[in-house]
Amino acid sequence: MTNPVYLDYNASAPLCHEARQAMLVAMEIAGNPSSVHASGRAARKIVDHARRKIADLIGGDAERVIFTSGGTEANNLALNGLEDVTVFTSAVEHPSVIEARSDAKRIPVDANGVIDLAALETMLRAASDAGQRVLVSVMLANNETGVIQPVAKVGLLAHEYGAKVHCDAVQALGRLPVDMGQLLVDMVSISAHKIGGPKGIGALAIAPGVMLVPQIRGGGQEKYRRGGTENVIGIAGFGAAAERCEASRAKMDDVRALRDRLETVLASEAPELLIAGKGTDRLVNTSCLILPGMPGETQVMAMDLAGVAISSGSACSSGKVRESHVLKEMGVTDAGSAIRVSLGLETTDDEIDTFIRVWSRMRGNAVRKKSARHAA
């Protein structure tokens, strides 16, 4: 069953028409892209075309785009592929960064979830004085709150101390400009299914001079950087979604208007409502809404029963809800009451109206039950 109202684009965007068509074409090709016969060359042509389109989208070099199984593998390759480095990550990174290096040192953030640049400089200076090689990993936009990090400032600062910089741009791609040169980063992780491509395909783009130790061995694919036969069908869809992506980003102002209307109406109805990261730059499609006293899991289930798909923002892969480390680092005291509403290009005014109506009814029921308990 599909929810009539889908507002969980940060988890995964619907497959776009362009990606679907490209994948159907790729399905008809039997060859392995490493084979030299005609069918293999046809598969290689698809892979090379997609690689160029993805490189163009992020201001990278096609020869240095490494296809992976998704953003998680791209992040793991970036954090574990450099030898003999001390890793610094922000305290609000995605679990695929946080858990990739348990020995990483955490860079604190402020109440809006924005990285503390002064703290980072102190850490970089200490590492430099100790003769340590450093990799700094900071996401461009947070998957739970949408908060945008000053990655270019991080890059400038890190390079002053001779450090390399990795950026998880998975959630930002298609919603913000992602250009490796302008961001001053050495590596960028991206994923197809956030921009209307298929699930299970991503990429890590690296700058000249970055030498990675492969984490998956067993073949010479991806220039010996990542073994295994390339996912030609997924790559075809990724390339088509990337080609569509730049034009789609121009429509983000319409998405912003929908998100802002949603937040304005809800805030007027519920003065107790908190919006995480409200005081700083955020992705225009993302709202992290905290309704004190009502568990996020309860809200998600109530919305689902009404045909509206959202997320708690802190759900793990098992579907269970755990306390959000992002909101905890921001000092939010009622982090368990958060939900994430994330919009996309296909989101309509009617869908926002439906969400507002369902959410308002849900909150009203909760208020009435609370009042009845107090009266008793």
- Check: CB of residue 27 under 8 Å from CB of residue 43: no
Q: How far apart are CA 56 and CA 217, in angstroms?
A: 28
Q: How far apart are CA 193 and CA 206, in angstroms?
A: 20
The residue annotated as part of the active site, out of 16, 245, 288, 316, is: 316
Q: How many residues in the chain? A: 376
* Cβ partners under 8 Å of residue 172, min gap 6: 139, 140, 141, 148, 178, 283
Helix-strand-coil split of the chain, %, nearest 5: 45, 15, 40
* Cβ partners under 8 Å of residue 305, min gap 6: none
Active site annotation includes 245: no
Q: How far apart are CA 318 and CA 12, in angstroms?
A: 16
**Can you read off the two tokens belonging to residue 321?**
């809800």
Query: What phi and psi, each to the nearest 5 degrees, are found at residue 189?
Result: -100, 135
Q: Nearest Cα to 204, choosing from 76, 87, 90? A: 76
- Check: CB of residue 135 under 8 Å from CB of residue 120: no
Side chain identity, residue 30:
A
Torsion of CA 262, 268, 274, 275, to 10 degrees: 30
Place of tokens 């088509």: 240
Q: Crossing angle, helix 232-249 and helix 17-27, to 10 degrees?
A: 160
* Cβ partners under 8 Å of residue 99, min gap 6: none
Strands 202-206, 65-68: parallel, antiparallel or unpaired by DSSP?
Answer: antiparallel
Q: How far apart are CA 197 and CA 119, in angstroms?
A: 37
Beta bridge partners of 148: 141
Beta bridge partners of 311: 340
Q: Catalytic residue numbers?
A: 316
